[in-house]
Structure 1
């Protein structure tokens, strides 16, 4: 795939330390150059929101992006600006589902604690 090879070259240009990982600041600095910003825009990848762009590429939420994350993430974002918005909504949806899951687990824990401390009739009235 030719575009993947081009994206690998772009990653190597961003990775000025040759660490095989780039940080948010590396990406922000690189995107601020007209060459990279123009290239990404030309292949349909919106870079209007650098933080969102970075977070969408950082699939493992490690705080850095490796070559595979960069290439696969950019390929997923390829297309009209709507692709970026859809990816952003998907990412936010994932975070929301995780937060709801944690809240549910917390509520279950509270219910169990109340059950052991209060008569069952009072716990049913609370929940």
Structure 2
């Protein structure tokens, strides 16, 4: 982690990772976890669990532990990230829908009252 954290900020940005891709140690590590260098951006996005655009040590360690094992671990991380993003989108849409339902429920009694008032008005005038 420290060798990738070029500015010693405690976080790795994609630019920092990208700068280190020519480093033989970094290349060796990528080979060890069976990740092609061309997948560096994808790996970075997968490790960035909170979507901040940077990776802290905890995200780095957690992601690296999950990458150990079969070569398809990166695929599983991608699926997990996609599911997390889909869940967040769905949660947002649910909140919007719930707000619209609340608005309708708030307005409904007045609409029913006005509809009843209008109907009784027309029946008396006939």
Q: TM-score, normalised by structure 2?
A: 0.73
Q: Report the counterpart of residue 125 of structure 1 in structure 2.
A: none
Which structure has the higher relative contact order (CA within 8 Å, separation 6+)?
Answer: 1
Q: CA deviation at 1:102?
A: 1.1
Q: Distance in 2 between matches of 1:78 and 1:29?
A: 24
Q: Which 5+ residue runs of structure 2 have no aligned equivalent?
A: 113-126
Which structure has the greater CA radius of gyration?
2
Alignment map for 1:32-111 (pairs within 5 Å): 32-111=22-101
* Alpha carbons 2:2, 2:8 under 8 Å: kept: yes
Give 1:104-119 correspondences, 5 Å limit.
104-118=94-108, 119=111
CA contact (8 A) 1:31 1:47 kept: yes
Runs of at least 4 residues off by over 6 Å: none
- CA-based RMSD of the aligned residues comes to 2.1
CA shift, 1:80, in A, is 3.2
Aligned length: 110
Q: Spell out, residue by residue over 1:59-116, the C-alpha distance to the aligned partner (whole angstroms, 9 max, x if none).
A: 2332221223212211211233311011101110011011111101111111111222
